[in-house]
Amino acid sequence: MKQILLILLLSIQMQPLRAKTITVGKNKSVGTIKTAIDRAMNGDTVLVYPGIYKEKGLIVDKKICLIGIDYPVVDGENKYENISIKYPGVLVQGFKVINSGVSSIEDFAGIKIYNTRDVIVRNNKLDNTFFGIYSQYGTNCTFENNEIRAYKLEEQQSGNGIHCWKSDSMRIIGNKISGHRDGIYFEFVTRSLIWRNDSQKNLRYGLHFMFSNQDAYVSNIFKNNGAGVAVMFSNHVKMFNNHFEENWGDAAYGILLKEISDSHIEKNRFVKNTIGIYMEGVSRLQMKKNSFERNGWAMKIQASCMDITVSSNNFLGNTFDVGTNGSLVLNTFNGNYWDKYEGYDLNKNRIGDIPYRPVSMYSVIVEKNPPAMMLFRSFMTSLLDKTEKVLPSLTPENLKDIYPLMKPLRL
């Protein structure tokens, strides 16, 4: 008899507790989201119906699915952090999160993850929040298909749309971000993916990397941001198939690369930027199959850069193709198409018979004396460039493409 009772007891303990659904804002349901969270157990779902919920900061400290129906509004009243997640495995989906608190001391966010993992934040609308979605020591979290907007006019008044700090294995997918200081910000983030996001009209950078290694950003749009994209003090970063457009200004770039190494830039498109790519202190970088179209400078490579390989790229309609501030060049240009190339192809192998020097004398003069830009397209500047091609004196002797292509690549 004792054995039968023991078997029955063990079988009951082994059966999983049935997860329940708690509804908020509907007949025969609880009245607040906070009450529903307090009543929920691990594995439960809190289903929130339309309404405006002002609850002075929600804390999710158990493994639940927090799901909104037709975008119920969670209002921070410009005082509080809207939703704080402090437990692994939480799902937050389908909410409109508005009016978080603003502070120069605390990083208030619409949705913030604290020291946890496996969190999913999906299909939410965040409007007028200080930081949008914030990960602090997050691991293996997914931020997907969220719309994040802010409206401040100065950087000091706005945080970042998606902010990840000391996080690992993050997935930032399909989000639309505008109006923040930086659209997406990574600091000390490793082994993470930024994919198919649209980051436009942010006050500073569309994407900002700091001390983040072994990451990739793929198939994103960065358009009309204050200064484009910055990747700094990082290594083993993959930058594939992104679109950089209309990042204009005195210090604006498609991409600013500073002190990075062992990285790849491939199949990206740079259109109408002040500078397509600006590089300083960059080493062991592979650039291929990119298209530079109608930029001020397609690229600027400072003398501090080395072991950069630029191959199989198209340079079309740029004011200047390449600029540099030194005469010693330790980088390789090979097999690119340059629309300013005036050489010939006698053996018909589609490769120019004479090298192309992408740094013009006039670009060197402008680099040292910016007011000389007033002489652009004048007869004098054309004469200087023609003379320099015959008798090189100012332009770097070894910065040349030995095998320039006669026709643009299909990229």
Tens of pLDDT along 370-397?
555 555 555 455 555 555 555 455 556 6
Residues composing the chain: 411
* Minimum mean pLDDT range among 8-22, 232-246, 347-361: 8-22
SS3 225: coil
SS3 16: coil
Neighbours of 92 (CB within 10 A): 28
CA 408, CA 354: separation in Å to the nearest integer? 17
Q: Does residue 34 lie in a domain region?
A: no
Q: Which of 201, 292, 214, 310 lies closest to 255 in space, CA to CA? A: 292
> Range of 307's domain?
51-60+72-390
207 contacts 239 by C-beta, under 8 angstroms: no
Quote the mean pLDDT of the chain.
88
The better pLDDT of the pair 295, 16 is held by 295
Residue 208: CA atoms inside 13 Å, Cβ hemisphere, count?
22
- Is pLDDT of 169 > 90? yes
Residue 14 pLDDT: 41
Q: Which of 334, 226, 330, 324 lies closest to 273 in space, CA to CA? A: 226
SS3 379: helix
Q: Does residue 2 lie in a domain region?
A: no
Mean pLDDT throughout 395-403?
77
SS3 247: coil
Q: Does residue 46 lie in a domain region?
A: no
Q: Does residue 397 lie in a domain region?
A: no
- Is pLDDT of 128 > 90? yes
* Minimum mean pLDDT range among 36-40, 171-175, 227-231, 370-374: 370-374
Residue 367 pLDDT: 61
CATH number of the domain that residue 370 is part of: 2.160.20.10
Mean pLDDT throughout 396-411?
86
- Is pLDDT of 137 > 80? yes
Q: How many domains does the chain have?
A: 1
What is this structure's pTM? 0.88
Neighbours of 360 (CB within 10 A): 23
Residue 276 pLDDT: 96
Residue 4 pLDDT: 46
**Which structure tokens are listed for 401?**
């493409």
| Biggest distance spanned by C-alpha atoms of the chain | 107
Distance of CA 398 to the CA centre of its chain: 34
Residue 37 φ/ψ region, left for φ over 0, alpha for ψ in the -120 to 50 degree band, beta for the rest:
alpha
194 contacts 165 by C-beta, under 8 angstroms: no
Q: Does residue 66 lie in a domain region?
A: no
In the numeric block, the tokens 């850069």 are attached to 305
Q: Does residue 400 lie in a domain region?
A: no
Q: Does residue 32 lie in a domain region?
A: no
- Is pLDDT of 139 > 80? yes
* Minimum mean pLDDT range among 18-32, 231-245, 248-262: 18-32
Q: Does residue 203 lie in a domain region?
A: yes
The better pLDDT of the pair 122, 251 is held by 122
